[in-house]
């Protein structure tokens, strides 16, 4: 099979059209070398793409327009035209219309991925509030994709050259975090994280650090008992199942002292506990990966960037890394699954010496 036929078919949802999603997509694939990495399929509209090109002063961007994914051109950037509407786009001002188009893009890209017409999904950032105006209960990509692909516990995993940080709870109000952090949810997160590190990142025996919930990891019960009553039992049970999990560690000293460098991944209890240090140390160079899905999905580590939308100031570095990582993870999965299907034959025992 030719290299062209082997290239990963990358479905790309455009996110909120009033943000920087289309800008980072355009800048990433202006580099013709990216066509040696994957076959990109942008789920949006030619009118939307043209609007962004004109606003950003991007003249050199060649692509082919599709009405159907079956028309895929493996030598070019593909744009699957989902709507022909004339959009009134005001940069930095998301509304119900921009939320609707973000969801049209995400739904179509997810559907083609589910049907095996593409291989991976890279999502540009969208605005949760804009989407939730017409899609009640929408809390973000992770939850949506978990339901769409019927994955019981998708796990948000932020990845950079410095660290990998996963979250037991994601986009959840702080007042609800304590109730959601249980021995069961921590155990399930550790299982998903361990499996992902092995299958998706080809780490044979991953070491996972688990953070505490309270300041100073409870300080032996002086500032809360969740570490002793909830987190430690989860770590012990994970160890009984062959998972190398350690902790719980106080979050401040753990990152401040650089202890995270000794582990393959960190499991944080809630959103800001994990993402604040991650973005402080890796912002713009990280990737958001959803572990625990039957498909591969990545996104950049930044948001919609409404404050700089349309100003040609957004960096495509994180989006480009998201494309590379999606392709790498798919190859790792294929190698891992192939090795599992064809294990080495067990050597026969003989009494002859």
Both 124 and 165 in one domain: the answer is no
CATH number, domain with residue 199? 3.40.718.10
Given strand 207-211, what is the order of strands in its sheet?
63-66, 77-81, 38-44, 8-13, 120-123, 296-300, 287-291, 155-159, 164-167, 265-268, 207-211, 244-249
The Cα–Cα gap between 326 and 24 comes to 16
Cβ burial, residue 243 (10 Å; 0-12/13-18/19+): buried
Measured CA angle at 172 (ends 122, 216), to 5 deg: 110
Contacts within 8 Å (CB) and 24+ apart, 1-6: 4/74, 4/75, 5/74
Phi, psi values for residue 44, rounded to 5°? -165, -125
pLDDT of 2 > 80? The answer is no
Q: Is the dihedral of CA 309, 314, 318, 321 positive or negative?
A: positive
What's the domain count of the chain? 2
Both 58 and 166 in one domain: the answer is no
End-to-end CA distance of the chain: 46
pLDDT of the residue at 88: 86
Both 40 and 170 in one domain: the answer is no
173-208: pLDDT as tens digits = 999 999 999 999 999 999 999 999 999 999 999 999
Q: At 340, is the pLDDT very low, low, confident or very high (cuts 50, 70, 90)?
A: confident
Provide the whole-model pTM.
0.92
What whole-number percentage of the chain has pLDDT above 70?
A: 95
- Report yes or no on 338 lying in a domain: no
Both 72 and 16 in one domain: the answer is yes
Q: Which domain holds residue 305?
A: 1-151+293-332
Both 232 and 91 in one domain: the answer is no
Enter the tokens of residue 212: 């505490």
Both 101 and 245 in one domain: the answer is no
Q: What is the DSSP letter of 126?
A: -
- Report yes or no on 122 lying in a domain: yes
45-99: pLDDT as tens digits = 999 999 999 999 998 899 999 989 999 999 999 999 999 888 789 999 999 999 9
The conformational region for residue 128 under phi > 0 = left, psi -120 to 50 = alpha, else beta, is alpha
Per-residue pLDDT, averaged over 101-106, amounts to 96
Q: At 40, is the pLDDT very low, low, confident or very high (cuts 50, 70, 90)?
A: very high
Q: At 346, is the pLDDT very low, low, confident or very high (cuts 50, 70, 90)?
A: low
Largest Cα–Cα distance in the chain?
82
Q: What is the DSSP letter of 314?
A: -
pLDDT of 165 > 80? The answer is yes
Integer angstrom CA distances of residue 226 from 12, 182, 212, 259: 41, 9, 8, 22
pLDDT of the residue at 3: 60
pLDDT of 169 > 90? The answer is yes
Enter the tokens of residue 19: 């943000």
Q: How many helices (H) and strands (E) does the chain have?
A: 13, 12
pLDDT of the residue at 350: 41
Q: At 353, is the pLDDT very low, low, confident or very high (cuts 50, 70, 90)?
A: very low
Phi, psi values for residue 38, rounded to 5°? -155, 170
143 Cβ contact list (under 8 Å, min separation 6): 154, 170, 171
What whole-number percentage of the chain has pLDDT above 90?
A: 84
Q: Which of 44-48, 100-104, 282-286, 303-307 has the lowest mean pLDDT?
A: 282-286
Residues in the chain: 353
286-328: pLDDT as tens digits = 999 999 999 999 999 999 999 999 999 999 999 999 999 999 9
Q: At 5, is the pLDDT very low, low, confident or very high (cuts 50, 70, 90)?
A: low
pLDDT of 6 > 80? The answer is no
110 Cβ contact list (under 8 Å, min separation 6): 11, 13, 121, 145, 148, 149
Both 130 and 104 in one domain: the answer is yes
- Report yes or no on 352 lying in a domain: no
pLDDT of the residue at 65: 95
Both 269 and 302 in one domain: the answer is no
Both 141 and 200 in one domain: the answer is no
Task: Kindly give the interhelix angle for 232-240 and 183-199, rounded to the nearest 10 degrees.
Answer: 40
In the chain, where do the E strands start and end? 8-13, 38-44, 63-66, 77-81, 120-123, 155-159, 164-167, 207-211, 244-249, 265-268, 287-291, 296-300
Measured CA angle at 220 (ends 174, 226), to 5 deg: 35
Q: At 266, is the pLDDT very low, low, confident or very high (cuts 50, 70, 90)?
A: very high
- Report yes or no on 353 lying in a domain: no
What is the C-alpha radius of gyration for the chain, rounded to an integer number of angstroms?
22
Among 33, 30, 55, which Cα is nearest to 42's?
30
Q: What does the mean pLDDT of the chain come to? A: 92
pLDDT of 140 > 50? The answer is yes
Both 146 and 159 in one domain: the answer is no
123-132: pLDDT as tens digits = 999 999 999 9
């Amino acid at each position: 099979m030719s290299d062209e036929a082997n290239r990963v078919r990358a479905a790309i949802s455009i996110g909120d059209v009033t943000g920087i999603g289309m800008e980072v997509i355009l800048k990433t694939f202006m580099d013709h070398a990216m066509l040696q990495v994957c076959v990109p399929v942008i789920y949006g509209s030619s009118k939307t793409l043209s609007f962004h090109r004109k606003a950003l002063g991007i003249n050199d961007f060649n692509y082919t327009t599709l009405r159907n994914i079956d028309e895929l051109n493996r030598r070019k950037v593909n744009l699957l035209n989902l709507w022909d509407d004339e959009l009134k786009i005001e940069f930095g001002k998301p509304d119900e219309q921009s939320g609707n188009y973000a969801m049209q893009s995400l739904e179509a890209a997810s559907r083609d991925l589910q049907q095996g017409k593409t291989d991976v999904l890279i999502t540009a950032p969208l605005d949760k509030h804009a989407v939730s105006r017409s899609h009640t209960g929408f809390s973000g990509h992770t939850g949506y994709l978990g339901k769409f692909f019927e994955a019981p516990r998708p796990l948000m995993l932020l990845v950079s050259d410095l660290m990998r940080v996963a979250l037991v709870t994601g986009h959840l109000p702080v007042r609800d975090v304590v109730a959601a952090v249980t021995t069961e949810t921590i155990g399930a997160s550790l299982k998903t994280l361990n499996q992902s590190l092995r299958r998706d990142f080809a780490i044979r025996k991953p070491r996972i650090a688990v953070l505490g919930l309270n300041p100073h990891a409870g300080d032996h019960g002086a500032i809360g008992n969740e570490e002793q009553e909830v987190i430690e039992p989860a770590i012990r049970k994970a160890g009984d199942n062959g998972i190398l999990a350690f902790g719980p560690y106080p979050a401040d000293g753990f990152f401040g002292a650089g202890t995270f460098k000794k582990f393959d991944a960190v499991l944080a209890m809630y959103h800001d506990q994990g993402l604040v240090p991650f973005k402080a140390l890796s912002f713009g160079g990280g990737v958001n990966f959803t572990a625990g899905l039957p498909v591969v999905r990545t996104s950049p580590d930044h948001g919609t960037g409404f404050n700089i939308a349309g100003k040609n100031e957004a960096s495509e570095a994180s989006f480009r890394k998201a494309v590379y990582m999606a392709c790498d993870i798919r190859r790792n999965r294929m190698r891992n699954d192939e090795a599992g299907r064809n294990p080495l034959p067990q050597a026969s025992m003989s009494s002859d010496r």
